[in-house]
Amino acid sequence: DIQMTQSPTSLSASVGDRVTITCRASQRISNYVNWYQQKPGKAPKLLIYGASSLQSGVPSRFSGNGSGTDFSLTITSLQPEDFASYTCQQSYSNPLTFGGGTKVEIK
Amino acid sequence: QLQLQASGSGLVKPSQTLSLTCAVSGGSISSGGYSWTWIRQPPGKGLEWIGYVFHSGSIYYNSSLKSRVTISVDRSKNQFSLEVSSVTAADAAVYYCARIRTSNFYYSMDVWGKGTTVTVSS
């Protein structure tokens, strides 16, 4: 199984900050990475697919990058509604696996 | 607008079978380019993929659960279902159903149901 290791597990940031979350795969997976946002008590929401493609309706302050084993999700100018957890997912091979998540909290 | 709604047994006794159904509305479960999946999230933990079924009927399971899991599709009712047998406390979780967009090969989960909580207790 491909392991997805996210870092950091949590971070504190202020409104307007630039935030970057990273995800490392245990083997090369090309660009088969998707990113999700999840708020407490809610289902995850797709933000980025294919490592860097923005899902329809998602604000452009979200962006994804990476290929191979190292991937990142960046939020430029953090907004109040962005305080949530973020999770990466690989779709290179079954079983589909997720990272452990990163919680973005208000500083 | 496509919507998914999971329902089923919220309280299951240890060793019994958990049964959930995901009703799909606003679109057909037989549409090409998509598959339908179950994912779970134990309290305070991360997401775990359980399995998915293609519009063609092919089904893939997470090997960690494969011996206990069955996913099925009822096209006449536009819904798909999950059964997990011989449940233990480790199966307690919020269970989500979701649509996977397979048309671009990135297998991203683009539409999610709200999730249903399953408790395992005698």
**Residues A20-74: tens digit of each pLDDT:** 999 999 999 999 999 999 999 999 999 999 999 999 999 999 999 999 999 999 9
Q: How far apart are CA B112 and CA A44, in angstroms?
A: 7
* Residue A40: cis peptide before it, omega within 30 degrees of 0: no
Whether the Cβ atoms of residue B98 and residue B112 lie closer than 8 Å to each other: yes
The alpha carbon of residue B63 is apart from the nearest alpha carbon of chain A, in Å, by 7
The alpha carbon of residue A91 is apart from the nearest alpha carbon of chain B, in Å, by 6
CB-CB: which of A32, A42, A98 is closest to B106?
A: A32
Per-residue pLDDT at B3: 97
E strand segments, A2-101: 4-7, 10-13, 19-25, 33-38, 45-49, 53-54, 62-67, 70-75, 85-90, 97-98
Per-residue pLDDT at B55: 80
User: Does the pLDDT value for residue B66 go beyond 90?
Assistant: no
Q: How far apart are CA B36 and CA B31, in angstroms?
A: 11
Q: Which two tokens stand for residue B59?
A: 């089904």
The band of B103, judged by pLDDT with boundaries at 50, 70 and 90, is confident
Strand bridging mode A62-67 / B108-112: unpaired
Q: What is the mean pLDDT of residues B24-43?
A: 94
Per-residue pLDDT at A103: 98
The band of B8, judged by pLDDT with boundaries at 50, 70 and 90, is very high
User: Does the pLDDT value for residue B100 go beyond 90?
Assistant: yes
Structural element, H or E, at residue B53: strand B48-54
CB-CB neighbors (< 8 A) of B58 in chain A: none
Per-residue pLDDT at A86: 98
Per-residue pLDDT at A17: 97
- Within an 8 Å CB–CB cutoff, is residue A40 touching chain B? no
CA closest to A6 among chain B residues? B46
CB atoms within 10 A of CB A68: 13
Work out the percent of chain B whose per-residue pLDDT is above 70.
Answer: 100
- Within an 8 Å CB–CB cutoff, is residue A32 touching chain B? yes
Give the distance between the most distant pair of CA atoms in chain A.
38
Whole-number average pLDDT of chain A: 97
